[in-house]
Amino acid sequence: MIDKATRNKLKAKANELSDICVTDGEKFAKCYDDMYNSGEFNCGECFIIARLADLYTAIKQGIIDKTDGAKQQSEIFKIIELEE
């Protein structure tokens, strides 16, 4: 089970990466690699961050509305918690 502090940390990092993705897709790849290689997050957490960053980017670009985005975010965490 992912505790609230970890969940908030993952969402904050995903939001940071999605801001980069919206402005510069190439920089996003480097920032993601740097995050992955830093050791700050484990492999599973990096997967969650990547999924959330993709979702947040779609919301920021207007591809997905915020209501659907909130539902999808909830589903991402449910799936991860089932796999633990």
Q: Which residues of the chain have pLDDT under 50?
A: none
Q: CB 59: neighbour CB atoms within 10 A?
A: 18
Q: Please, what's the largest Cα pairwise distance for the chain?
A: 34
DSSP state, residue 7: H
DSSP 48-66: HHHHHHHHHHHHHTTSS-H
pLDDT score recorded for residue 73: 86
pLDDT score recorded for residue 80: 66
pLDDT score recorded for residue 83: 53
Burial 67-81 (b: 16+ CB within 10 A, else e): eebeebbeebbeebe
Q: What is the pTM of this model?
A: 0.76
pLDDT score recorded for residue 21: 80
pLDDT score recorded for residue 60: 87
* CA–CA distances in Å: residue 48 to residues 8, 55: 12, 11
DSSP state, residue 84: -
